[in-house]
Amino acid sequence: MNGQAGNKSADRGVTSEMITHGLRTAWRGIWRTRASSALAIALIASAIGLNTAIFAICDAILLRKLPVPSPDRLVHINGISGNIFYPVPYGIVQRLRERTDLFAGVSGWSDTPQPVEAGGRR
């Protein structure tokens, strides 16, 4: 007897009855273990939601262009000493702003807390 004589499914391929039988068996297993099935479905739904939220944040921060007329002309300036980067002092930012022959406009930002004065009070 050769190896293919007893294997009828190799001749037929996958039939609709086989798919229906597999789906029925899977449904019975899910129905028997409702709690673990509900947990698995909830975990998958949570993972999809989390993945969507992470992509939305990355898209907003990293992938979208900056809301300026010519983002390819932006320049980032900072100080460097060895391997340490430090912010440019505000006085230098003001002097760069005054030199209109260098830049069309100058803006500065800092992630360190700065004192703010309003009406002579801090």
12-29 pLDDT tens trace: 678 899 999 999 998 888
Per-residue pLDDT of 46-70, as tens digits, reads: 999 999 999 999 988 887 777 778 8
Query: For the chain, which residues make up each domain, given as ranges?
Result: 8-63, 67-108
Report which of 75, 80, 70 is spatially closest to residue 103, judged by C-alpha positions: 75
pTM of the predicted protein model: 0.38
Q: What is the pLDDT of residue 49?
A: 97
Contact 48, 55 (CB under 8 A): no
Q: How far is CA 61 from CA 3, 7, 56, in A?
A: 60, 57, 9
